């Protein structure tokens, strides 16, 4: 048996990036031989084995044949006479189709090293078109390496466009689309994932709610002179600069979906777009089968973003209503991701990206104020039931009124970020 390091480990080592995991391909081997050496079989689609000491994946060299629709529509074949080159030619990009021999030499039959040096993402062969999931994978790699200067080869964009036009993307299962999307949202340039999909027409198939924002104008007094879709890209880029986690990034993906439902006679103001946005945000999350926390984040951002931006102008009863609706006492993380996402939105629109965003400190402080309002004294006074609830609300409103006054006085003295 000959064993080679393959895929991302070879690519990232040549790029000088940290190697997070290693995958190996076994040429000339059999399942029986690997198991006799202590390897543990895993996976149902084709023979993959875990190394008995390292736990790393070792796959038998294989070929594959298209047998149906979607990402899973393949028949795989393994045999001792399958060559390394036959295995590599089925991979997605040339930069992922290199192998490293035990002596450290690089086997590169499809010029992946040259494409690394040229900073080009190029498909290996026409077999690329047989797996529609590769459209999303290429877009994700584009998002990962955009900051290094990488671009997608024009012939690969054309191949991705043909896959889109074939209708194959509609056969992808939601779980795989969500997995690629969630990983892409956490890349260094997440906006490039969606822009790349837009360039090949796939955005309209996979994220029609986003595609519908293309070309829709916004009010210039609140936003730079870009359409709503471009604003979405800029928000995601800002979220990456702030190093935000996945939840607020997904919330930002949903936050302006309602603007697609404004009729042209209402442009560019988009009145009540937050209310209109609830339906497309819910539909997108349901179609993607996004986890419950993500779906909730999208809806919460759509509904309450305007209130967050206006937080310092809210009267204490309205502020209490907002905090209660967000359920901040039981779910403090919900307020955290909401203000994180709103801050990214604010900085995208602000003339000075370092301008202060006092809403964050103000709302988090307000949540702490209502958390510390003592209810025991009200009970000791004999209050219970609805009367207790009203008295507690009155006490919280008074506390918020005093807190707001103190916050504004302090802010006027020291308006630092």
Q: Is 74 helix (H, G, I), strand (E, B) or coil?
A: strand
Computed over every residue of the chain, the mean pLDDT equals 90
Q: What is the mean pLDDT of residues 95-103?
A: 97
CA distance 225 to 361: 29
Overall residue count recorded for the chain in this entry: 417
Confidence of residue 25 (pLDDT cuts 50, 70, 90): very high
Tokens linked to 87: 């295995």
CA distance 309 to 1: 63
CA distance 32 to 297: 49
Which residue bears the tokens 């919330």? 251
Express as a percent the part of the chain with pLDDT over 70: 92
Residue 263 has pLDDT above 70, yes or no: yes
HSE-CB for 314 with a 13 A CA cutoff: 22
315-374, pLDDT tens digit by residue? 999 999 999 999 999 999 999 999 999 999 999 988 787 889 999 999 999 999 999 887
CA distance 248 to 337: 5
Q: What is the mean pLDDT of residues 139-146?
A: 98
Q: Which residues pair with 64 in a beta bridge?
A: 76
Which residue bears the tokens 């892409």? 184
pTM: 0.90
Q: What is the CA radius of gyration of the chain?
A: 26
Q: What is the mean pLDDT of residues 126-130?
A: 91
Residue 381 has pLDDT above 90, yes or no: no
The angle, 0 to 180 degrees and rounded to 10, between the axes of the packed helices 332-349 and 246-254 is 60
pLDDT of the residue at 416: 59
CA distance 254 to 260: 12
pLDDT of the residue at 275: 82
Residue 49 has pLDDT above 70, yes or no: yes
pLDDT of the residue at 225: 64
Confidence of residue 271 (pLDDT cuts 50, 70, 90): confident
Question: Residue 264: in which H helix or E strand, if any?
Answer: none
Higher pLDDT, 223 or 87: 87
Q: What is the mean pLDDT of residues 114-138?
A: 96
Q: What is the mean pLDDT of residues 11-25?
A: 94
Contacts 24+ apart (CB under 8 A), 72-77: 72/45, 72/173, 73/171, 74/45, 74/130, 74/131, 76/45, 76/46
Given strand 57-60, what is the order of strands in its sheet?
Answer: 40-42, 48-50, 57-60, 23-27, 2-6, 99-100, 106-107
Burial (CB < 10 A; 0-12, 13-18, 19+), residue 103, is: exposed
218-253, pLDDT tens digit by residue? 877 666 667 999 999 999 999 999 999 999 999 999
Which residue bears the tokens 């404004």? 262
Q: What is the CATH number of domain 1-113?
A: 3.30.460.10
Strands (E), 101-149: 106-107, 120-121
Question: Residue 177: in which H helix or E strand, if any?
Answer: helix 174-185
Tokens linked to 252: 């930002």
Query: Does residue 257 contact residue 302 with C-beta atoms inside 8 Å?
Result: yes
Question: Residue 52: in which H helix or E strand, if any?
Answer: none
Q: What are phi and psi of 62, to 5 degrees?
A: -145, 160
How do beta strands 74-78 and 62-66 pair? antiparallel
Tokens linked to 70: 């979607």
Q: Is 50 helix (H, G, I), strand (E, B) or coil?
A: strand
Query: Domain locations in the chain?
Result: 1-113, 369-413
CA distance 39 to 26: 12
CA distance 109 to 143: 26
């Amino acid at each position: 048996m000959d064993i080679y390091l393959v895929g991302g480990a070879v690519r990232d080592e040549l790029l000088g990036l940290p190697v997070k995991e290693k995958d190996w391909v076994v040429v000339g081997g059999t399942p029986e031989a690997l198991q006799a050496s202590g390897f543990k079989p895993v996976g149902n689609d084709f023979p993959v084995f875990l190394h008995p000491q390292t736990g790393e994946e070792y796959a038998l060299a294989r070929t594959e044949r298209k047998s149906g629709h979607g990402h899973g529509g393949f028949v795989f074949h393994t045999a001792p006479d399958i060559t390394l080159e036959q295995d590599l030619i089925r991979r997605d990009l040339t930069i992922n189709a290199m192998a490293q021999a035990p002596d450290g030499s690089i086997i590169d039959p499809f010029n992946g090293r040259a494409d690394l040096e040229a900073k080009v993402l190029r498909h290996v062969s026409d077999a690329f078109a047989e797996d529609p999931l590769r459209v999303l994978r290429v877009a994700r790699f584009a998002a990962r390496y955009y900051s290094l200067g990488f671009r997608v080869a024009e012939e690969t964009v054309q191949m991705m466009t043909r896959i889109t036009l074939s209708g194959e993307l509609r056969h992808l299962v939601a779980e795989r689309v969500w997995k690629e999307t969630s990983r892409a949202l956490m890349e260094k340039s997440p906006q490039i994932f969606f822009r790349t999909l837009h360039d090949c027409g796939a955005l309209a198939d996979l994220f029609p709610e986003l595609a519908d924002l293309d070309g829709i104008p916004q009010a210039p007094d609140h936003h730079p002179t870009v359409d709503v879709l471009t604003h979405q890209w800029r928000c995601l880029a800002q979220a990456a600069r702030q190093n935000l986690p996945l939840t607020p990034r997904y919330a930002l993906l949903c936050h302006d979906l309602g603007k697609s439902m404004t009729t042209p006679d209402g442009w560019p103001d988009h009145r009540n777009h937050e209310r209109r946005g609830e339906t497309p945000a819910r539909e997108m999350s349901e179609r993607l089968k996004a986890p419950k926390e993500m779906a909730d984040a999208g809806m919460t951002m759509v509904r309450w973003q305007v209130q967050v931006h206006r937080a310092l102008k809210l009267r204490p009863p309205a502020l209490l209503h907002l905090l209660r609706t967000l359920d901040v006492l039981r779910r403090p993380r919900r307020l955290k991701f909401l203000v994180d996402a709103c801050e990214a939105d604010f900085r995208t629109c602000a003339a000075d990206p370092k301008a202060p965003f006092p809403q964050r400190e103000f709302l988090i402080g307000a949540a702490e104020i209502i958390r510390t309002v003592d209810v025991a004294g009200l009970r000791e006074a004999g209050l219970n039931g609805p009367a207790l609830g009203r008295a507690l609300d009155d006490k919280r409103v008074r506390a918020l009124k005093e807190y707001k006054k103190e916050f504004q006085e302090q802010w006027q003295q020291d308006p630092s970020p």
